[in-house]
A and B are shown apart, each in its own frame.
Chain A
Amino acid sequence: MMTSITATTAPLLHARGVTKSFGQTEALRGVDLDIYPGEAVAVMGPSGSGKSTLLHCLSGVITPDSGTVTFDGTVISDLREQDRSRLRLTDFGFVFQFGQLLPDLTALDNVTIPLLLAGVKRSKALAKARHWLDRFGLSDHTGKLPGEMSGGQAQRVAIARALVAEPRLLFADEPTGSLDSLAAENVLTAMLEQVREIGTTLVIITHDPRTASYTDREVIVRDGKLSAASESRIGGNA
């Protein structure tokens, strides 16, 4: 399936020669990566391999020292900070492992936030947030605070919040890292089902092969570069 997508479509996210250092530490040492529209890609690698730094560069949270990241034809690092913020707000969604929900707000209010920030009217935002909580099987939990929910439920709320504005690209960093096997499976299944339904492209950072098995393909980061095996697959597809 991949071959047919990549043969006919331009990548949605296109990274070339991306490097990033923190002091003396070279976190990324020249990463080339193409992510195609609608695919789900796992970025794997051991701790400290640079995979989170790669996610931050791909999503415009940080600027690479050299190299380029292009999203749908726009070089992200050339954008002014306010335009990058806008991109992150409208085109990108984010899910992390821990602590992303505001603890004093209900599930419903948490999911509403991105829409309000994007200027959607409150009544419309609430309706849409309800709809998304429903899609994640959380209709009975809209009024609960994050602390009153299980880990799996809270994580589904976080994913609903990341998808409520229907971003074109969802970045997930170890989204099920703090969940047990069954809860992780339920969360992943729900997330993949929803991103596929709305056609959102998914980049998921994980060290867990089970998580990677839910995606279409994986690339491996080691010592700040993609492994040769990952590179040759890029070559094979391009």
Chain B
Amino acid sequence: MYTLSVNKSQTLLGLLQVQPSYGYDLKQGYDSHFGARKPIAFGQVYSILARMVRDGLIDALGEEAGSGPDRKRYAITERGRSHLRTWMFTPDIPSAMLQSDLFAKTVIALLVDENAEDLLDIQRTEHIARMRTLAREKHQASLADILTIDYALFHIEADLRWIEMTSARLTELKKELAS
């Protein structure tokens, strides 16, 4: 079974675009969407938040009386929004492994009302471009090389099937995420 290796910074940033939140709520949000097999540690949430504050992607709002990181509420900045969009709409490099970040991009896009269909289309184009390169490499290749290339092609095709299925299920997924 694959374990999704989700891009934690981007997904937390995405959750902050949905609404300003406390670290605790972010952890809950992350775990419910992406952390079924591998919940995120509190410590990691706070170190990511600190880094994003430093980079100007989020602001820490209204520090309340008392101590502890949970007293801070965080909100995405304009810069953070633009950073998130760039991540979302930049296709991943197709590899022979599961495109786990793509799953995260899709969910975040639906949560923040971006066009998830477009990002899947952009990714599809990237995947087919990769297949095109591989198909060309087959022309002059030895049979052994052809078989290796075929292996890569079939894995990319598996990703593409996932993209098709997900594309067809976006409306349903959006409903589920909203509930």
Q: How distant is B168 from chain A, measured CB to nearest CB, in Å?
A: 6
Q: How far is the CB of A128 from chain B (nearest CB, A)?
A: 28
Contact A213 B135 (CB under 8 A): yes
Distance of B122 from chain A, by nearest CB (Å):
5
| Residues on the A chain within 8 Å of B121, using CB | 220, 227-230
> Among residues 197 to 231 in chain A, which have CB atoms less than 8 Å away from a CB atom of chain B?
207, 209-210, 212-215, 218, 220, 222, 227-230
Residue B105 at the chain A interface, CB threshold 8 Å: no
Which residues of A have CB within 8 Å of B63?
none
When C-beta atoms are compared, the residue in chain A nearest to B146 turns out to be A185
**Of all chain A residues, which has the CB nearest B133?**
A213
With a cutoff of 8 Å between Cβ atoms, the chain B residues found around residue A233 in the complex are: 125
Among all A-B residue pairs, the 9 with the closest Cβ atoms: A229-B121, A213-B131, A209-B160, A213-B132, A213-B135, A227-B121, A228-B118, A212-B128, A229-B122
> Which residues of B pack against A, CB within 8 Å?
115, 117-118, 121-122, 124-125, 127-128, 131-132, 134-135, 153, 156-157, 160, 164, 167-168
Instruction: Determine chain B's interface SS by DSSP, over half rule.
Output: helix
Take A209-B131, A213-B134 as given contacts and tell me if A229 and B125 are in contact as well, using a CB distance cutoff of 8 Å: yes
Known: A222-B117, A229-B121. A46 touches B164 (CB 8 A): yes
Instruction: With CB as the reference atom, state the residue of chain A lying closest to B161.
Output: A209
* Identity of the chain B residue whose Cβ is nearest the Cβ of A42 in the assembled complex: B128
Q: How far apart sit A133 and B37, CA to CA, in the bound complex (Å)?
A: 57
**Closest Cβ neighbor of B131 among chain A residues:** A213
Quote the shortest CB–CB distance from B178 to chain A (angstroms). Answer: 22
Considering the chains assembled together, what is the distance between the CA atoms of A46 and B124 in angstroms?
13
Task: Judge whether B118 and A210 touch: CB under 8 Å.
Answer: no
Interface centre among A209, A220, A228, A233 (most CB of B within 10 A): A209
CB contact between B127 and one of A209, A220, A229 (< 8 Å): that residue: A209
Q: Assess whether B115 is in contact with A228, with CB atoms less than 8 Å apart.
A: yes
A-B contact pairs, 29 of them (CB 8 A): A46-B164, A46-B167, A46-B168, A207-B164, A209-B124, A209-B127, A209-B157, A209-B160, A210-B131, A212-B131, A213-B128, A213-B131, A213-B135, A213-B153, A214-B132, A214-B135, A215-B132, A220-B124, A222-B117, A227-B117, A227-B118, A227-B121, A228-B115, A228-B117, A228-B118, A228-B121, A229-B122, A229-B124, A233-B125
